[in-house]
Amino acid sequence: MANLPIVQFEEKIMEAVEQNPVVVVIGETGSGKSTQLSQMLHKRRYTKSGAVAVTQPRRVAAVSVSRRVAQELGVRLGDEVGYAIRFEDRTSERTFIKYLTDGVLLRESLANPELNQYSVIILDEAHERSLNTDILLGLMKRLIKRRVSNLKVLITSATLDGEKVSNFFSNCPVLTVPGKLYPVEILYSNERPKSYIESCLKTALDIHAREPEGDILIFMTGQDDIEKLVSKLEDKIRSLEEGSCMDAIILPLHGSLPPEMQVRVFSPPPPNCRRIIVSTNIAETSLTVDGVVYVIDSGYVKQRQYNPSTGMYSLDVVPISKVQANQRAGRAGRTRPGKCYRLYPSTVYTDEFLDVTIPEIQRSSLAGSVLYLKSLDLQDIDILKFDFLDPPSPESLEDALKQLYLIDAIDENGLITSIGRTMAELPLEPSLSRTLTEANEYGCLSQALTVAAMLSAETTLLPGRSKNTEKKRKQNHLDLPDGSGWGDHIQLLQIFECWHQTDYDIDWLKDNGLQVRGMMFVKDVRKQLCQIMQKIAKGPLDVQTSRRRRESQQDCYNLRKALCVGYANQLAERMVYHNGYRTLGFKPQVVQVHPSTVLKPDNEGKLPDYVLYHELIATSRPYLRTVCSIDIKWVMPIRNKFNNLNINKLSGGIGHVEESTDGKLSDSPKKALVTAGVPDDRD
């Protein structure tokens, strides 16, 4: 890879690494940071005293880049070069270059806070400002001060504000690798199009018909739009008169694509053929696609935002930042001068786009991260004053503390409990890890493990993922036992149990419209979660999947009870005069249960008075997704806990919430909670 820009700077970078504990390397996307730095360090024998870890915010990047490096070094992936992402570890004792997601490195540091299995840690793609990378930045700062051995930290980025990071790390050196970018002509639309898909389609076809060879990269917001555009492009290209244009191959690119489809973008096109790659923002900086000369930029990105005051997630299509727009344009100028077609007017770029993307830490629920930090026992610092590059808002930190308190992970003084410690060891979101600890007490751990595994698999059959599966689920073609009327969690359990009865028959999955890859993943995740639980319990647990044809009512009852404890922050009550539910919390929200639910009304046509939900998400309206019916008597103790909550004590006296004089909840939310037992929708 001698022609990659970073190679010319090898001496300089290695000299800086030799002399400094922390070095920031800024280089254009595709300059070779992710694939080359680890190899340079190996060449200089840094791998003699420990492995080189390279973190990636995205799972696909960890897999794809490690595969490339293994290829370049001529070794088998999983041997000397490997990767570890949540629930998938392809490394061995011989691995000396390890690509891993930032979340996996955080987890490793729980088991080994000094991380002394590594001689060098590279935090790659730091410009993405993922929540986990931001936490790692703070942890690295502490580790550098404390670790006796000679740990080296490299922070690499395509666009990051180098000065800011350098200041954060006591003015460490910043090395810039000048990119070999060719000029890119920017072409703006006169107005925003009515339909992005149609506009992308037309622009791509125009380029294909008129412009000389060179691949086209189109930035869309998500998988659905990508699939629609790919199919339209395929139709149009097929209908072109033979010989009127060169051939074209259309390639989708997004995070949920199977790995063998993802790597297709790295193969060059056959002669006289143009590739049209339709991608999410994954191709902005995470994966470098060579050969692109034309970029079509929709100007939007899909972003998950969390509102700490309502506990509501929204998956919004939002305008990109200027930095992102420039990154997208830059993809066109890697091999020769290119063109970027921005499907928005220049005034939108100058006046409406933010300069930089908002870091994830400022738009996420922090419960998992705060629990993690608490479990590290950083005695010398208050968690709320942890050294963040950009601090999260006090509201979101307090929201995290309240969430953790309600599920018993911290006590009323904000100190981590033994339950909290166990939870922190599980690679799950707090609601699910708490459910597992409680299920263990109620003798339904096996069932809870299945539900946790089903909900952790991103690509299986969560409601709404596949319309077909949804239809089948709802029509109950799956021949599930009674009891699925309790809701989606129970049905997820039953689906897995039914599959288990068939001895994990692949044909059964296909016949029932379930995703084979997703379900195999669930099976594996379940096994791993069992092992972790057994390790924590220091002994065997009853985690056998039931061979019985039907789950007993008692099992379902216990499981729902355990789920209620885990989801204490995510409960809702039915409203009498209104067709919907109201969430229990500080700012109750009027919501609907998502139509994809399998929750069944009773004989009088009424839905249950109380439900727990996995997700509260605002799409066209606020919806509860993946819900389960619960009993009012389980809600009472949680309500009491709500009302006794004192944020001042929880946050160690630096509470931010506007308090009533006794330091408890302010008036109106308290009222809402007190009335929680009496469904009422008049206000």
Phi, psi of 283, deg, nearest 5: -90, 5
Q: Please state the closest distance from residue 281 (CB atom) to ligand ADP, in A.
A: 14
Which residue of 9, 16, 17, 35 would you call a contact of ligand ADP, by CB under 6 A? 35
At CA 361, angle to CA 431 and CA 658, rounded to 5?
A: 80
Let me know: does 100 contact 85? Beta carbons within 8 Å.
Answer: yes
**Of 4 and 75, CB closest to ligand ADP:** 4
Tell me the C-alpha distance between 418 and 430, whole Å.
Answer: 14
Helix count and strand count (H, E) for the chain: 24, 21
> CA angle, 379 as apex, 374 and 380 as ends, to 5°?
125
Residue 327 in the binding site for ligand ADP (CB under 6 A)? no
The span from the CA of 146 to the CA of 660, in Å, is 42
Q: Which stretch binds ligand ADP (CB under 6 A): 30-38, 182-190, 344-352, 410-418?
A: 30-38
User: Minimum distance from CB of 361 to ligand ADP (Å)?
Assistant: 23
Provide DSSP, 199-224: HHHHHHHHHHHHS-S-EEEEE-SSHH
Cβ 97 vs Cβ 52: under 8 Å: yes
Beta carbons within 8 Å of 58's beta carbon, 6+ residues apart: 101, 125, 128, 255, 282, 286
Q: How far is the CB of 84 from ligand ADP (least distance, A)?
A: 17
Residues in contact with ligand ADP, shown as a per-residue x/- string from 67 to 106 under the rule CB under 6 A: xx--------------------------------------
Binding mask 48-67 vs ligand ADP (x if CB under 6 A, - otherwise)?
A: ----------------xx-x
Judged by beta carbon, residue 289 or residue 445, the one nearer ligand ADP is 289
* Least distance to ligand ADP, CB of residue 216, Å: 16
Between 27 and 162, CB nearer to ligand ADP: 27
Is 266 or 504 the residue whose CB approaches ligand ADP more closely? 266
**Amino acid identity at 163:** E
Tokens 């991380």 correspond to 115
Judge contact between 645 and 402, C-beta under 8 A.
yes
17 or 65: CB nearest ligand ADP? 65
- Closest by CA to 133, choosing from 112, 154, 163, 111, is 154
Closer to ligand ADP by Cβ: residue 67 or 328: 67
- The pairing of strands 338-342 and 571-574 is unpaired
CA dihedral of residues 304, 307, 312, 313 (deg, nearest 10):
0
Q: Please say which residue, 124 or 399, places its beta carbon nearer to ligand ADP.
A: 124
Residue whose structure tokens are 């590059």: 389
Helix (H, G, I), strand (E, B) or coil at 315: strand
Q: Is residue 324 part of the contact set for ligand ADP (CB under 6 A)?
A: no
Q: Which is nearer to ligand ADP, 72 or 211 (CB)?
A: 72
Using CB under 6 A, pick the residue from 22, 23, 31, 374 that binds ligand ADP: 31
Give how far Cα 204 sits from Cα of 169, 213, 226, 265, 328, Å: 45, 13, 13, 18, 16
C-beta of 158 vs 400, nearer to ligand ADP = 158
Among 22, 27, 440, 457, which residue interacts with ligand ADP (rule: CB under 6 A)?
27
Shortest distance (Å) from residue 6 CB to ligand ADP: 7
Give the type of residue at 145. Answer: K
Nearer residue to ligand ADP within complex by CB, 5 or 359:
5
Name the burial class of residue 446, with classes exposed (0-12), middle (13-18) and buried (19+) by CB atoms within 10 angstroms of its CB: buried
Per-residue x/- track, 237-276, ligand ADP (CB under 6 A): -----------------------------x----------
Residue 277 vs 490, nearer CB to ligand ADP: 277
| Structural contact between residues 285 and 330, judged by C-beta atoms closer than 8 angstroms | no
Helices (H), 407-463: 418-425, 430-442, 445-456
Selected range binding ligand ADP among 25-33, 233-241, 532-540, 647-655, rule: CB under 6 A: 25-33
8 Å CB contact between 426 and 449:
no
Q: Is 33 in the site for ligand ADP (CB under 6 A)?
A: yes
User: In the bound complex, what is the minimum distance in angstroms from residue 449's beta carbon to ligand ADP?
Assistant: 34
- Least Å from the CB of residue 71 to ligand ADP: 7
Taking the complex as a whole, the smallest distance from the CB of residue 68 to ligand ADP amounts, in Å, to 4
Query: Looking at the chain, how many residues does it have?
Result: 683
| CB 11, min distance to ligand ADP, A | 18
Helix H or strand E segment including 616: strand 610-618
DSSP string, 492-516: HHHHHHHHHHTTS-HHHHHHTT--H
Smallest gap from Cβ 64 to ligand ADP, in A, equals: 4
596: helix, strand or coil: coil
Residue with tokens 């028959």: 505
Token code pair at residue 285: 């900086």
Q: Which of residues 443-462 bind ligand ADP (CB under 6 A)?
A: none
Task: Report the residue number, 25 or 397, with the smaller CB distance to ligand ADP.
Answer: 25
Question: What is the amino acid identity at position 683?
Answer: D
CB atoms within 10 A of CB 497: 22
Rounded Cα–Cα distance for residues 219 and 513 (Å): 30
Do the beta carbons of residue 613 and residue 624 sit within 8 Å? yes
Reference 24, options 164, 151, 131, 144; nearest CA is 164
**Nearest-approach distance from CB 59 to ligand ADP, in angstroms:** 14
Q: According to CB under 6 A, which one of 22, 29, 53, 119 is a site residue for ligand ADP?
A: 29
> In angstroms, what is the minimal distance from the CB of 180 to ligand ADP?
11
First and final CA of the chain: distance in angstroms? Answer: 66
Among 16, 23, 24, 34, binds ligand ADP (CB under 6 A): 34
Q: Give the range of 26-34, 38-46, 237-245, 357-365 binding ligand ADP by CB under 6 A.
A: 26-34
The interface with ligand ADP within residues 287-316 (CB under 6 A) comprises 288, 290
| CB 67, min distance to ligand ADP, A | 5
| Total residues interacting with ligand ADP, rule: CB under 6 A | 17
The residue to which tokens 């099976």 are assigned: 523
* Interface region with ligand ADP, contact rule CB under 6 A, candidates 33-41, 97-105, 167-175, 411-419: 33-41
Considering only 17, 25, 30, 647, the residue that binds ligand ADP (CB under 6 A) is: 30
Which residue of 25, 32, 331, 426 would you call a contact of ligand ADP, by CB under 6 A? 32
| Chain positions contacting ligand ADP, by CB under 6 A | 4, 27, 29-36, 64-65, 67-68, 266, 288, 290
